């Protein structure tokens, strides 16, 4: 199988900033390869120079980083929303993969999930945690959704 993962890196990172455990991205990449036969794992994130060390680690772990320049909100917070880029890349690559794995809990991706399902290209949606997952995304994915919080023992950074 030749499956691709499309990871909403900002959503994944922000989810774990509010939980009591940290995800090990190296273990996640191995998990995606072994469980879902993911050959390419795109990781979409806003590029901030303060995170260059993280980007190097992700690349070493086998992720293909897809950057978007960040913007700064009036209160100083950084915004690096890559939703459109993730959807566009999935559509560009649609004929190159057998199935897609979408990693996010963001309901904005429900339309992508519905489309991939309609053309038999969706393998799974993997949401970081059940509690923060959009009901729209859960509804669109139906039975094809998993939650990383169920994999804490296997994917936790130690």
Sequence spans of domains, the chain: 3-155
**What CATH number does the domain located at 3-155 have?**
3.40.50.1010
pLDDT in tens, the chain (158 residues): 999 999 999 899 888 777 888 999 999 999 999 999 999 999 999 888 888 899 999 999 999 999 987 777 788 776 667 899 999 999 999 999 999 999 999 999 999 999 999 999 999 999 999 998 999 999 999 999 999 989 999 999 98
Helices 110-118 and 83-93: crossing angle in degrees, nearest 10, is 10
User: Residue 110: what pLDDT?
Assistant: 98
Q: Is residue 105 classed as helix, strand or coil in its secondary structure?
A: coil
Within 10 angstroms of residue 53's Cβ, the number of other Cβ atoms is 8
Using the 8-state DSSP alphabet, how is residue 50 labeled?
A: G
Residues linked to residue 64 through DSSP beta bridges, in sequence order: 42
């Amino acid at each position: 199988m030749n499956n691709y993962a499309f990871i909403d890196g900002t959503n994944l990172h922000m989810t774990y900033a509010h939980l009591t455990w940290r995800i090990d991205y190296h273990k996640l990449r191995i998990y995606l390869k072994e469980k879902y036969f993911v050959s390419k794992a795109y990781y979409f994130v806003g590029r901030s120079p303060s995170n260059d060390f993280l980007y190097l680690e992700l690349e070493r772990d086998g992720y293909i980083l897809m950057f978007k320049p960040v913007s700064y909100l009036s209160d100083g917070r950084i915004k690096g929303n890559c939703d459109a880029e993730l959807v566009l890349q999935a559509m560009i690559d649609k004929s190159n993969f057998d199935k897609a794995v979408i990693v996010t809990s963001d309901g904005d991706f429900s339309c992508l999930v519905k489309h991939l399902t309609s053309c038999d290209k969706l393998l799974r949606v993997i949401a970081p945690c059940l509690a923060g997952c959009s009901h729209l995304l859960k509804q669109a994915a139906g039975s094809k959704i998993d939650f990383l919080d169920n994999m804490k023992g296997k994917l936790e950074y130690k």
